[in-house]
Amino acid sequence: MKRKDEPGHSSVTVYGAPWCSDCKRAKKFLGEQRIHYHWVDVETDAKGLALVERVNDGKRTIPTVVFEDDSILVEPSNAELATKLGLEAHAKLSYYGLSPNTEWLPKTVERDCSGFIKTSPTLQTSVPGVFAAGDARLGSTKQAASAAGEGATAALMVREYLKSV
């Protein structure tokens, strides 16, 4: 989730109590989003409690969150907080795919239609002496351990290749 404005710009006051799980959740969310907020414990702050009762028709409904424009959200969900604070709560794309950065390679290094590099069982590409390893390689498992292993294998294959030329 990304903020539209600068970190620490907002002034938010959260009225709640230490035992209130929704208060903890709201505070955690604000903290994660780097939103500066003031915490008022209504169990120890009489003025805070009075405000909560005033805006909730006499009820002690918490968390009650007051924003710098004096607007108020009572028991807001994280999504409601995000909307109020101008946070982007939704992904820009419905799907994020893996796309290898292989356009810079010469055309002679064969790739599939998605750009993944084709290799032989010894990790050699279509160009003799050029090897590929890791996520950019067609058929790789897209795991860190395999990428490292393929790198080591490719290095050994390079050595074998150099012996042969």
Ligand X SMILES: Cc1cc2nc3c(=O)[nH]c(=O)nc-3n(C[C@H](O)[C@H](O)[C@H](O)COP(=O)(O)OP(=O)(O)OC[C@H]3O[C@@H](n4cnc5c(N)ncnc54)[C@H](O)[C@@H]3O)c2cc1C
Report if residue 109 touches ligand X, rule: CB under 6 A: no
Residue 51: which of 16, 85, 11 has the closest Cα? 16
* Residue of the chain from 135, 149, 153, 161 that contacts ligand X (CB under 6 A): 135
Could you tell me the smallest distance in angstroms from the CB atom of residue 63 to ligand X? 32
Report if residue 153 touches ligand X, rule: CB under 6 A: no
* Residue of the chain from 143, 155, 156, 160 that contacts ligand X (CB under 6 A): 143
Report if residue 144 touches ligand X, rule: CB under 6 A: yes
Report if residue 28 touches ligand X, rule: CB under 6 A: no
For residue 67, list its beta bridge partners. Answer: 12
Query: Is there a contact between 107 and 101 (Cβ–Cβ < 8 Å)?
Result: no
Report if residue 77 touches ligand X, rule: CB under 6 A: no
* Residue of the chain from 6, 58, 104, 164 that contacts ligand X (CB under 6 A): 104
Residue 136: which of 162, 103, 87, 108 has the closest Cα? 103
Between vectors from CA 67 to CA 63 and to CA 73, what angle results, nearest 5°? 40
Tokens matching residue 4: 């539209």
Q: Which residues of this protein are in contact with ligand X, per CB under 6 A?
A: 101, 104, 134-135, 142-145, 147
